[in-house]
């Protein structure tokens, strides 16, 4: 499917300085990638609003999102800018414009989706390689859903939410989370992730990049906007996930106050609220600082 791509002139941003051919994105190109990912992921989310969700008991059988759309763009262009644009598109299109804004949990979702797309996109080194595409699609679902499952379990552990779906059986919670995770992996990860992406990424590779004034990615050369390969980045990712945990806690705590009064308040007090807020600020600040440092180090 891939004809050998040839171009007469040089493209903006393509340099041969250094020992490897390196391809840096110019500012307008970053803007293009950002806007494209925002528009397309937003569109796919509007389509999903039409598709009804099916609940079987407490298990929710639905398409969480069209995984193949952000994955395609992350694989073909630049993981970082797609990871920034896609969740923002979801918030702006489906949540703000349609009046479906759900408060703090939007931020939790943004952070989880950002990490998921960034990590998965960086895992695809060769856009023509089916195995890497499959791993990427699964990574998006695994990272995103693992984080939100961990949030759910931690809520119970801290005690802001009911643990027992089945009376006298705390393990039922774990089981339900596991089943939900499996369903998401099959529907979002395989049906709407691996299968379409395996077809779409090679089909678009070499065709869509010239439309945006870019050179198609060549396997083996550094990916523009790739996840930095350092301990600092891992630290930043962990801190970001912790921040997203706190956002979820704040929301859950807000719901559960009253339902769990007074033991909960006596145990933790109102201070819990302020501690969470301070923790969010500190942790997010640290994460951004780590992240900047990691990127800086990678660029040198």
Partner 1 sequence: MARKQRDVLSVEWVKLELIRTAYATRGGLFSVMDPRMVLGWYLILAIIPWFTHNLTVLAVLFVVAAISVALARVGPLILALFVFGLLTEAVYIFIAAIFFGGDLTTIMALLELTLKLGTISMASMAAFVSLDPEKLSDALLALRAPALLAFAVSYGYRMLPILVEEFNTVFDNYRLRSAPPEKPGFLGFRSIAHWIKMAILAFYPIFLNTAQSVRTTVEALETRGFTYATVDQRGRNIRLAYLKVGALDLAVVAVTIILVAGAFWCGQVWPVYHVDLLR
Q: Are 224 and 25 in contact (CB under 8 A)?
A: yes
Q: Which stretch binds partner 1 (CB under 8 A): 16-24, 132-140, 238-246, 258-266?
A: 258-266
CA distance 24 to 12: 9
Residues 6+ apart with CB under 8 A from 84: 34, 114
Token duo for residue 55:
């609940």
**Contact status: 187 vs partner 1 (CB under 8 A):** no
Q: Which of 108, 110, 112, 30 is nearest to 73 (CA)?
A: 30
By CB under 8 A, name the one of 25, 44, 82, 243 that touches partner 1: 44
Give backbone dihedrals phi and psi of 54, rounded to 5 degrees, phi first: -110, 125
Cβ proximity to partner 1: between 17 and 54 the closer is 54
Beta bridge partners of 224: none
**Contact status: 289 vs partner 1 (CB under 8 A):** no
CA distance 279 to 203: 45
Beta strand residue intervals within the chain, DSSP E:
14-15, 22-23, 54-56, 59-61
Token duo for residue 89:
């598109």
Cβ proximity to partner 1: between 209 and 234 the closer is 209
**Contact status: 74 vs partner 1 (CB under 8 A):** no
**Count of Cβ atoms closer than 10 Å to residue 72 Cβ:** 28
Q: Least separation, in Å, of the C-beta of 238 and partner 1?
A: 25
**Interaction with partner 1 in 83-122: which residues (CB under 8 A)?**
85, 88-89, 92-93, 96-103
Q: Which stretch binds partner 1 (CB under 8 A): 12-20, 44-52, 126-134, 236-244?
A: 44-52
x-or-dash string of contact with partner 1, 121-160, rule CB under 8 A: ----------------------------------------
**Contact status: 1 vs partner 1 (CB under 8 A):** no
Cβ proximity to partner 1: between 66 and 233 the closer is 66
Q: Least separation, in Å, of the C-beta of 2 and partner 1?
A: 16
CA distance 292 to 226: 13
CA distance 51 to 277: 36
**Contact status: 19 vs partner 1 (CB under 8 A):** no
Binding region for partner 1 (CB under 8 A): 27-28, 31-32, 34-36, 38-40, 42-44, 46-47, 68-69, 72, 85, 88-89, 92-93, 96-103, 162, 191-192, 196, 200, 203-204, 207-208, 211-213, 254-259, 261
């Amino acid at each position: 499917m891939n004809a050998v791509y040839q171009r007469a002139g040089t493209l903006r941003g393509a340099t041969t300085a250094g020992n490897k051919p390196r391809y840096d994105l110019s500012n307008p190109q970053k803007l293009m990638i950002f806007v494209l990912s925002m528009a397309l992921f937003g569109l796919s989310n509007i389509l999903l609003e039409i598709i009804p969700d099916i609940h079987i008991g407490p298990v929710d059988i639905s398409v969480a999102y069209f995984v193949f759309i952000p994955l395609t763009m992350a694989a073909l262009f630049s993981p970082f800018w797609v990871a920034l644009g896609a969740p923002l598109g979801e918030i702006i299109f489906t949540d703000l414009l349609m009046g479906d804004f759900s408060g703090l949990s939007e931020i939790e979702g943004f952070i989880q989706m950002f990490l998921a797309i960034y990590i998965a996109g960086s895992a695809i080194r060769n856009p023509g390689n089916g195995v890497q595409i499959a791993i990427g699609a699964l990574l998006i679902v695994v990272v995103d859903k693992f984080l939100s499952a961990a949030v759910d379990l931690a809520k119970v552990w801290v005690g802001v939410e009911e643990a027992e779906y089945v009376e006298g059986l705390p393990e039922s919670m774990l089981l339900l989370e596991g089943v939900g995770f499996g369903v998401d992996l099959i529907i979002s990860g395989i049906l709407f992730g691996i299968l379409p992406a395996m077809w779409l990424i090679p089909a678009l590779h070499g065709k869509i990049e010239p439309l945006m004034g870019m050179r198609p990615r060549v396997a083996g050369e550094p990916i523009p906007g790739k996840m930095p390969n350092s301990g600092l980045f891992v630290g930043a990712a962990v801190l970001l996930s912790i921040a997203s945990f706190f956002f979820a806690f704040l929301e859950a705590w807000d719901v559960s106050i009253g339902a769990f009064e007074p033991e909960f308040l006596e145990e933790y007090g109102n201070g819990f609220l302020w501690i969470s807020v301070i923790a969010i600020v500190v942790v997010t600040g640290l994460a951004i600082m780590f992240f900047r440092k990691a990127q800086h180090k990678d660029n040198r």
